[in-house]
């Protein structure tokens, strides 16, 4: 079961995805339960970024009804490996800073995944990495790393507190895709003056098992060519959250 607050945010994200569907070259469906795990893992691994390898299940193609609804006028067939299949498997493969996170340990395929990855212990199809307290917008290092990806790359941006050594870094150009609203300071009746630390008093959308207050979640996906991929967050039946408001 996904947290209720996250379910609502996923529904609002899906609505935005429908409304902007023609800005995308293709779509990818990802299970909400898995997406929730990615958020928890990202916060448990602070202050590091994490790199997550993801795969599809050949028995779980996108539902045609959903695929048709989210289909873009700019749709490109056969753009990436496993296009048309849901992401429903994910493993943390590495952690580090914004540069080192992309450099996998040399022996990472040898033992780490041999037991649960079977004969497919090779590379993953899709990749996701986190941007702790930074927007989900690719850096140059991210774009370089994506050149090796057969599927697509995703970035999960998380704004949270306590910030620890990582204050929110906002100085990045690019298109942002939020789940819900931009984080805003909570208005206090007691004091109208701006004071030191006031920026920390942001609206909270949810609390993670790690104890972090979450203020904002951003999610984007892109192909190595630079084309944007539309992400659809689906339940265990493959239906998008908020389906009844999307049709
Ligand atoms: Zn990055």
CA distances from 86 to 57, 125, 182, 218 (A): 7, 12, 28, 20
pLDDT digits (tens, 9 = 90+) for 42-76: 999 999 999 999 999 889 999 999 999 999 999 99
Q: How far is the CA of 31 from the centre of ligand 1 (A)?
A: 22
CATH code (residue 178): 3.40.140.10
In the block, tokens 């995944």 appear at: 113
Say how many Å lie between the CA of residue 226 and the centre of ligand 1: 15
Q: What is the mean pLDDT of residues 123-147?
A: 94
Rounded distance between C-alpha atoms, residue 14 and residue 59, angstroms: 23
Q: Are 159 and 132 in contact (CB under 8 A)?
A: no
- Ligand 1 centroid to Cα of residue 21, in Å, is 24
Q: Are 25 and 79 in contact (CB under 8 A)?
A: yes
Residue 207's Cα: distance from chain center in Å? 17
Question: 129 CA to middle of ligand 1, Å?
Answer: 6
Q: State the residue range of the domain holding 119.
A: 4-246
Q: How far is the CA of 193 from the centre of ligand 1 (A)?
A: 36
* Residue 57 and residue 236 in contact, taking contact as beta carbons nearer than 8 Å: no
The alpha helices in 126-199, defined as continuous H runs, are 140-146
Beta strands 228-234 and 26-31 are parallel
CA of 32 to the centre of ligand 1 (A): 22
Q: What spacing in Å lies between the alpha carbon of 73 and ligand 1's midpoint?
A: 29
Q: What is the Cα 124 distance to its own chain's centre?
A: 16
Residue 180 reports pLDDT greater than 90: yes
pLDDT digits (tens, 9 = 90+) for 3-49: 999 999 999 999 999 999 999 999 999 999 999 999 999 999 999 99
Residues with CB under 5 A from ligand 1 (ion): 139, 142
Query: pTM for the full model?
Result: 0.91
Distance 234 CA to ligand 1 centre (A): 24
- Spacing, Cα 124 to ligand 1 middle (Å): 18
Asked if the model's pLDDT at residue 120 lies above 60, the reply is no
Residue 27: closest CA among 60, 74, 59:
74
User: How many separate domains does the chain show?
Assistant: 1
What separation in Å is there between the alpha carbon of 140 and the centre of ligand 1?
Answer: 8
């Amino acid at each position: 079961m996904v947290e209720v607050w996250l379910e609502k945010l996923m529904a609002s994200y899906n609505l935005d995805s429908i409304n902007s569907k023609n800005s995308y070259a293709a779509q990818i469906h990802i299970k909400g339960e898995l997406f929730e795990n990615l958020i928890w893992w990202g916060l448990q691994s602070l202050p590091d970024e994490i790199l997550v390898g993801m795969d599809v299940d050949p028995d779980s193609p996108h539902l045609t009804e959903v695929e048709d609804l989210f289909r873009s006028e700019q749709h490109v067939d056969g753009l990436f490996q496993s296009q048309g299949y849901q992401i429903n498997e994910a493993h943390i493969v590495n952690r580090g800073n914004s540069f080192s996170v992309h450099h996998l340990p040399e022996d990472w395929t040898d033992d780490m995944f041999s037991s649960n990855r079977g004969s497919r212990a090779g590379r993953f199809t899709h990749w996701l990495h986190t941007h702790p307290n930074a927007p989900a917008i690719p850096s140059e290092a991210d774009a370089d790393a994506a050149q090796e990806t057969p599927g697509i790359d995703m970035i999960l941006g998380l704004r949270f507190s306590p910030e620890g050594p990582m204050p929110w870094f906002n100085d990045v150009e690019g298109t942002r895709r939020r789940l819900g609203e931009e984080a805003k300071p909570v208005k206090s009746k007691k004091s109208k003056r701006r004071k030191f630390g006031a920026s920390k008093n942001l609206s909270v959308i949810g609390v993670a098992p790690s104890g972090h207050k979450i203020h904002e979640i951003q999610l984007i996906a892109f192909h190595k060519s630079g084309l944007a991929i539309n992400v659809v967050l689906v339940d265990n039946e493959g239906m998008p959250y908020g389906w009844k408001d999307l049709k």
